[in-house]
Amino acid sequence: MLSVFSSPGHYVQGRDATAALGAEMTRLGLDGPVLIVAGGSARRLLADTWEQSLTDAKIAYSVHVSSGDCTRAEIAQITAAVRASGCTVVLGAGGGKVLDSARAVADDLRLPMISCPTTASSDAPCSALSVIYTAAGEVETYQLVRRNPALVLVDTSVIAQAPARLLAAGLGDALATWFEARTCTAAGVRNMRGGASTRSATALAELCYRTLLADGRQALAAVREQAVTPALERIVEANTLLSGLGFESSGLAAAHAVHNGLTAAPQTHAYLHGEKVAFGVLTQLVLEGAPSGEIDTVLDFCADVGLPTTLAAVGVADTQLSTLSAIATRATAPGETMHNEPFEVDAAMVLDAMRAADALGRR
């Protein structure tokens, strides 16, 4: 098995970075007409800056306002908009689902993609992976695309204006990176790009975890004041770049499979991806028999930054066996990343691990 490390072509981050969009696109030869697939808040916050930056760079553009979902229907609508506009570059601006939709469309049409996240709520911006949901809100599939984004541009001034809950959710998604990376590396399984992990990928995943513990609390305090600080810059890089490179080039395991299982329960749909992943991390650690000190460190971190540590905190207040069994069955479906664990896992094991993790969180 060949080792594969996957990454975006170019990564730009900092205060007021959106103002440099046109210049960065020109420098990379992405100067064809661009369709901006934007969430509603992204359009409200950035429309004037796009106009100034892209006009100065003499880049034509049009805007398609996304529904905010990543479903087959949304992807079809964006595809039609790209074809009607004649654009040769697709830019996603918004949260993870908006970026995933834009990425899937760009791949289908063989066009370069630019990723401009307006939150640091997930590790979606850098990857070559789109998570497709059903219309009912359940994870349908992971769609692997051919190329990572040609450009990832992260404006920390915009991210500082987003609700603190979104940054906390990004901490939850990034929290899984190291634990899943070390599991996949130990198991010798294929990463998200179909190859073996590299030492670089696992090192970045571990750096991601260390950065969360060192700076997560301080960065969250900064966002509550809509302030851009060095701690926030480091956490945005951890949530976006370090976690993105770490998960894609090392792999996913139980934590994200538990997230996918939770989406089978409609009452969890109001909770963010990273919030459900955080509970998945605790479940994975219990499932793997991790040392109590490590579990306590994760529990303390989650409590400090407001991440869920119980089933009730992700909407599953009803812990009837039928509900938990449905979640565990979905988490262990054929092809799920649960099967990247270095031992055979079945639904009964996951159900027990969730219940035990829930008990630790309640304690």
Q: Which of 69, 100, 215, 256 is catalytic?
A: 256
Cα(302)–Cα(305) distance, rounded to whole angstroms?
A: 5
256 carries an active-site annotation: yes
Q: Residue 79 in contact with residue 2, Cβ under 8 Å?
A: no
Cβ–Cβ under 8 Å, residues 270 and 315: yes
User: Taking the CA of residue 115 as centre, how many other CA atoms within 13 Å lie in the half-sphere pointing to its CB?
Assistant: 37
**Three-state DSSP class for residue 21:** helix
Q: Of the listed 123, 173, 215, 358, which one is catalytic?
A: 173
* Bridge partners (DSSP) listed for residue 94: 117
Catalytic residue flag (residue 259): yes
**Contact between residue 294 and residue 285 where contact means Cβ atoms under 8 Å apart:** yes
Sign of the alpha-carbon dihedral angle for 48, 54, 58, 60: negative
Q: How far is residue 17's CA from residue 155's CA, in Å, rounded to a whole number?
A: 5
Transcribe 253-281 into DSSP letters.
-HHHHHHHHHTTSGGGTTS-HHHHHHHHH
Which residues does residue 38 pair with via DSSP β-bridges, in sequence order? 65, 93
Q: Which one-letter DSSP state was computed for residue 196?
A: B
Question: Would you list the DSSP string of 90-157?
Answer: EEEEESHHHHHHHHHHHHHTT--EEEEES--SSS-TT-SEEEEE-TTS-EEEEEE-SS--SEEEEEHH
Catalytic residue among 273, 300, 304, 346: 273
Given 64, 69, 100, 259, the catalytic residue:
259
Q: Strand 129-133 and strand 139-144: pairing?
A: antiparallel
Catalytic residue IDs = 173, 256, 259, 273
